[in-house]
Chains A and B, each alone.
Chain A
Amino acid sequence: MKKKELAVAALENGTVIDHIPSSSLFKVVNLLQLEKLTGSVTIGNNLDSNRLGKKGIIKIADVEFPEDVINRIAVIAPHAVINIIHDYEVVKKHEVQLPDELNNIVRCNNPKCISNNEPMPTRFHVENRDPIVLRCHHCERTVAQSEIQLK
């Protein structure tokens, strides 16, 4: 049993994204466009977690993401932890950090917002981090954490 678990878990080089809320796991997969990767990607969900109750985890072999890319997931998984693995060792570990501004990641919830009616990128300012409150740069409406929809 122990051996089998290790076979899935072991990662020689790459990125492990841990502490993803189970409800956000597949959104993270979409946001990072993991379906386009050709290397090995291991996805686990509904694992027991002391912090979250149930959590998701993603292991991506041989890929490291630029900070600005990986930090985008903070909008749906604000306490996700990024582990960088080199030669089976964790060489870097940090919680994702929500950037001050989100460009073309989140959809505006206001149907009368220009960004929902014109082919254009969205732009949001982070007004509060915990809980997350975003403000649409264009229509100036706020979006609460529970209302966040990805583009």
Chain B
Amino acid sequence: MSSVRRGLHVNLKLIKMNTRSLVSISDLSKQEITHLLDVASKFDHNPNQRLLEGRVVATLFFEPSTRTRLSFETAANRLGARVIGFSDASTSSQAKGETLKDTIMMVSNYADLIVMRHPLEGAARYASEISPVPIINAGDGANQHPTQTMLDLYTIRQTQGTLENLNITMVGDLKYGRTVHSLLEAMQFFNPTFNFVACKELQMPEQYKQFCRERGLAYHETTDFGPDIINQTDILYMTRVQRERFSDLMEYERVKNVYTLTASMLQGAKPTMRVLHPLPRVTEIAQDVDDTPWAYYFEQARNGLYARQALICRALDIQVP
């Protein structure tokens, strides 16, 4: 059989698969989320499963993100796939003015799956509409980063034994932090109680509070970060407060210290409570927290591997034994 005909056959098969793109966490139902976490747990026990032998995964990083790219490429490698791609758009044809569409169409001739990160919002959605192969969004500007949310959910379930009825405290930049927004959306299925802890400038946007009210999700909002909140918390989700969010640098200096977690603040915390952070951290978690039993952010980052393995298998419609 000629290779041209075989190629055509493969392409037709992949066109059907493209409904399996993952652009936003809201693309997934509760059942799908729970199933994906079960699959991730299989990879947690045995990460080296050559289920993607002979497949090619493209990682297209139109903006650099070493951490996310390494996690995806490790996931693909441990599944036995080959990885192609670029890690910086300045070295790719994008720099020569090629449209996103042309890049996606070109790469989809070579790869069975495209993982992409792009500085423009909506880039992954658009790619998923034009691409004959599935797309996994590895971050589109300030919009979505669904694989981060899946690893957060996996970590929460792993440390608490369940996703149901948890008290989740989000601290730091709740205004611009896309990870807290996506996590909030995904947790809607599991009857959480939220505490939103942030300074006035970085409070949870109204649309997400409305989202909670419409779905009957309890939330409390405060500017005070201390034992009162921490002691009732199951998951303490810390985020980075970025200097560029402030017009007043004095205010930044003040806020930065108020929303820093130190080991001494954890003395009354539940033994099962865990501190999470999407990383990289700057000063919002003091180094002395690392050695406490509550710190879990490095394990959380490792879970990204298993969550991404599960999502790659979903995208390619591969059953995990």
Contact = CB atoms under 8 A, between A and B. Distances in A.
A, B from the same assembly: yes
Interface of A: 108, 110, 112-115, 117-120, 136-142
Given A113-B120, A140-B143, A140-B144, A118 B125 contact: no
Nearest to A140: B143
Contacts of A142: 207
A118 B100 contact: yes
B142 A138 contact: no
B101 A139 contact: no
A113 B119 CA distance: 9
A136 to B, nearest CB: 7
A110 B121 contact: yes
A140 B101 CA distance: 19
8 nearest CB pairs, A to B:
A138-B122, A139-B121, A139-B122, A114-B122, A114-B123, A114-B120, A138-B125, A114-B126
Given A136-B122, A138-B125, A140-B122, A112 B142 contact: yes
Interface in B118-132: 118-123, 125-126
B141 interface: yes
25 contacts: A108-B122, A112-B120, A112-B141, A113-B121, A114-B100, A114-B123, A114-B125, A114-B126, A114-B140, A115-B122, A117-B120, A118-B100, A118-B101, A118-B120, A118-B126, A119-B99, A120-B101, A120-B126, A137-B122, A137-B125, A138-B125, A139-B120, A139-B140, A140-B24, A140-B121
Interface in B2-46: 24
Given A139-B122, A140-B144, 16 more contacts: A112-B119, A112-B121, A112-B141, A113-B121, A114-B140, A115-B126, A118-B101, A118-B120, A119-B99, A138-B125, A138-B126, A139-B121, A139-B140, A139-B141, A140-B24, A141-B121
A138 B101 contact: no
A40 to B, nearest CB: 42
B122 to A, nearest CB: 3
Interface string B89-126: 00000000001110000000000000000111111011
Contacts of B141: 112, 139
A118 B99 contact: yes
Contacts of A120: 101, 126
Interface size class of B (residues with CB under 8 A): 10 to 19
Interface string B139-176: 01111100000000000000000000000000000000
Best-buried of B100, B122, B207 by chain A (most CB within 10 Å)? B122
Contacts of B122: 108, 113-115, 136-140
Contacts of B207: 142
A139 B144 CA distance: 9
Contacts of A110: 121
Contacts of B143: 139-140
Nearest to B122: A138
Contacts of B24: 140
Contacts of A137: 122, 125
Contacts of A119: 99
Best-buried of A113, A114, A119 by chain B (most CB within 10 Å)? A114
B124 to A, nearest CB: 9
Contacts of B125: 114, 137-138
Nearest to B24: A140
A137 to B, nearest CB: 7
